Amino acid sequence: MRRQVMARWNVADVMTIGAISVQEDTPFKEIVDLLEAHEINAVPVVDGFDRVVGVVSSADLVPKIEFAGVDDRLRVFEARHTRQARGKAHATAAGELMNAPAITVMSTTSLVAAARIMETETLKRLPVVDDAGRLIGMVTRRDLLKVFLRTDAEIRGEILAEALDGLVGVDPSQLRVEVDDGVVTLLGEVDRGSLVPSLVRQIERVDGVVDVVSHLSFDIDESGEQQKGFQAPVMF
C-alpha cells in the first residue's frame, strides 16, 4: 500500500499578510517612529520594486545610544560585532543600518524549516517573499506557535486519516488514539516492538502534537521471541 503523505502546515498558514517596510533612504528617526507606532521590533528594507534587500531591527538602532560621544578610533583587539555596532552608531538611514542580504522565506516554506532558520540564524522574525523576492508579509516565532491552537479533534482526525495510513504491521483497527491538550496517547497492539518508535515519530510529525505517550503492546519483540500481550515499557 502506498503511504499517504501528510499535509504539513506552512508559513502561509500562520504569517501576517502585508508588512510595514522602509526603503534604503528612510531616515533613522522615521524608522524609530514606525517601530514605536506599530509596536514591532524590526522592519524589512525594500527597493523600488518592493524586493527585500535587508532588515533593520531595534538592535541596529541601539548603538546610536551606546556609542554616543565615544572615541571613534579603532581598537586593536576590538571584536567584529563591536566594530560593526560602532559603525552603525553613525548611520542616518536604513541602508546603512540594515543587515543584508536579508534572510527570507516563502509562503510555501514549512513551519519546521522556518523554525530551524530562526534558530540557526538567531532571528525572531522573517520576511515572507514571493518568487520574485517581493515582500508579501512577515512570520514571527510567535506565529509559529499558532499550530498548537489546533483542537484535539483536528489532531486526532489527522492521525487516524493520514498518520496511520499505510504503515506496514500497523492495523489502525487495533489501535486507540486519545488526544488531550495536544498530548497523544496510543493504546492497543502492533505486530512488532520495533514498529513502536517509528509509529511514535510519525505521529510526532502531525502539526499541533505536543507529545506522544505509547502504551502499545506487540506480538514479537526485536529478538524474535513471542511476546503476546507484552506492554511496551518505553515512554516517548
Helix (H) or strand (E) holding 141: helix 141-144
Q: Do 90 and 101 belong to one domain?
A: yes
pLDDT in tens, 137-154: 999 999 999 999 999 999
CATH code, domain carrying 74: 3.10.580.10
- Within 10 Å of residue 101's Cβ, how many Cβ atoms? 10
What residue ranges in 120-207 does DSSP mark as E strands? Answer: 125-129, 135-140, 175-180, 183-192
User: Looking at 131, 147, 163, which one is the last position of a domain?
Assistant: 147
- 139 assigned to some structural domain: yes
Cis previous bond, 197, omega within 30: no
Q: What is the pTM of this model?
A: 0.78
**Full DSSP string of 197-209:** HHHHHHHHTSTT-
User: Does one domain contain both 53 and 70?
Assistant: yes
Rounded to whole angstroms, the Cα distance separating 97 from 37 reads 19
Question: How many domains does the chain divide into?
Answer: 2
Q: Is the dihedral of CA 48, 114, 147, 56 positive or negative?
A: negative
pLDDT one-digit tens code per residue, 151-172 = 999 999 999 988 887 777 788 8
175 with 161, same domain: the answer is yes
- Quote the pLDDT of residue 224: 52
> Which of 147, 182, 205 represents a domain boundary (last residue)?
147
d(CA 165, CA 4): 6
Residue 233 is predicted with a pLDDT of: 45
Q: Mark whether 135 and 22 lie in a shared domain.
A: yes
- Between residues 78 and 142, which one has the greater pLDDT? 142
User: Coil, strand or helix: which one is 26?
Assistant: coil
CATH code of the domain containing 154 = 3.30.1340
Could you give the C-alpha distances from 147 to 7, 104, 109, 118, 141, in angstroms and in order? Answer: 13, 20, 14, 16, 11
- 177 forms beta bridges with 186
Encode pLDDT of 181-218 as tens digits: 999 999 999 888 888 998 999 999 999 999 999 999 98
